[in-house]
Amino acid sequence: MGQFIDLKAADGTTFPAYVAEPAGKPKGGIVVVQEIFGVNTHIREVADGYAADGYLAVAPATFHRVQQNVELGYAEADMGAGFKLKQAVEALPAPGVLQDLQAAVDYAASKSGGKVGMVGYCWGGLLTWRAASALTGLSAAVPYYGGGMTTPEEAARQPKVPVLAHFGEQDQWIPLDSIEALKKAHPEIEVHVYPAHHGFNCNHRGAYDEASAKLARERTLAFFDKNLK
């Protein structure tokens, strides 16, 4: 359904982004932020899904500053490679990859003619949480099992837009007590915990939980419909 285009960040860096357009006039824009596996088949399918629901979807390649054309699977070797790439991006001088997300938000706004939301998964969930407090032109943010966002340092951020967060109660990377701490620190954000593991939204991996993924997506669409009007 979609295609890759090139976007340019404020520092002049050009990077690819997968863009999926709806059949009719977009209801708004949604920036889809990848996991540590690149803009792979799953992330492109997620973008296509939001386009099918009427949104212009943009999935920027957030590894591009450290390695181009990353498309990983979900085996242990892929996990290790993706984690190293994530560490390399996290080590970039500020604002690092956030300026690429800003360029994606700006593109989604200009191309859709409407408000822009952001949804991110795993590391992309963490980036979405950061974007909610750091970027301009964003109207809603939905982190899925954002690895690291429940740490005291990240939880201290103050989002400027409505946030809906999804977590799995069996997630070995995100302790339940840290989710409770996040909820106490941010009573304004909507938090849902599902009987599922980390990565429960991805139907390409063993952690996929169909019921949880379906419910989380319904809640996400309702959240975007409300905040991107």
Write out the catalytic residue numbers: 122, 171, 198
- Residue 105: name the closest of 57, 137, 149 by CA: 137
- Give which of 179, 9, 169 is closest to 101, Cα–Cα: 9
Residue by residue, DSSP assigns 197-221 as -TTTT-TTSTT--HHHHHHHHHHHH
Round the CA-based radius of gyration of the chain to a whole number and report it.
16
- How wide is the angle at C-alpha 102 spanned by C-alphas 62 and 140, nearest 5°? 100
SS3 for 182? helix
Q: Amino acid letter at 157?
A: R
| Torsion sign, CA atoms 118, 51, 4, 41 | positive
d(CA 182, CA 87): 23
Asked if 62 contacts 34 with a C-beta cutoff of 8 angstroms, the reply is yes
Q: How far apart are CA 173 and CA 207, in angstroms?
A: 13
